[in-house]
Amino acid sequence: MASTTTDAASHAAEAASAPGMPQLDFSNWGNQIFWLLITLVVIYFVLSRIALPRIAAVLAERQGTITNDIAAAEELKAKAVEAEEAYNKALADARAEAQRIIAETKAEIQAELDDATAKADAEISAKAAESEKAIAEIRAGALESIQEVADATANEVVAALGGKADADAVTKAVADRMKG
């Protein structure tokens, strides 16, 4: 075990006497800075000649797509506004046409109603005239019947009272009395 301890101590002594990390060794810094500059220049040329143009092309394409999409959207919006205006105009025309049809139909119905009313009034007038004529005939017949009954009754009353009545005089007296 003693040999293991001496080995460890010898390794520790070697590590302490070693120069350390090569990046931190000042004797190598000039060389490291040279290669750092070469690497940065190569990265710059690779990025500027290959990667950045591709990225710029993608960005330009994306911007073009966005611009085209916005233009198409504005065009579609304009078409939608035109379609809405056409729809509203068609709707207004349809409403106006419906109002015209309603007015015509009302006028036709009113004309038919007026004709039917005039026809009914004429029929009622004709029936009323016929009824008045029939009533007048009935009244005239009733007056004649009343006059005949009154004549007969007057003749019977005069005969019952013991007098002799003149038929013309009794008829004249009854007629005068009926006139009022």
Does residue 4 lie in a domain region?
Answer: no
The predicted-structure confidence for 24-43, as pLDDT tens digits, reads as follows 777 778 888 999 999 999 99
Q: Answer positive or negative: Cα dihedral of 24, 27, 33, 39.
A: negative
Does residue 27 lie in a domain region?
Answer: no
Does residue 100 lie in a domain region?
Answer: yes
- Banded pLDDT at 18 (limits 50, 70, 90): low
Does residue 16 lie in a domain region?
Answer: no
Does residue 63 lie in a domain region?
Answer: yes
Residue 177 tokens read as: 């009395």
Does residue 23 lie in a domain region?
Answer: no
For the ranges 2-11, 97-106, 151-160, 169-178, the lowest mean pLDDT is seen at 2-11
CB 147 within 8 A of CB 174: yes
Residue 10: which residues within 8 A CB-CB, separation 6 or more? none
| Residues of the chain above pLDDT 70, percent | 91
Does residue 117 lie in a domain region?
Answer: yes
The predicted-structure confidence for 91-149, as pLDDT tens digits, reads as follows 999 999 999 999 999 999 999 999 999 999 999 999 999 999 999 989 888 888 888 88
By C-alpha distance, which of 168, 165, 146 is closest to 157?
165
Does residue 161 lie in a domain region?
Answer: yes
Report the length, in residues, of the chain: 180
Range of the domain at 72: 37-179
How many domains is the chain partitioned into structurally? 1
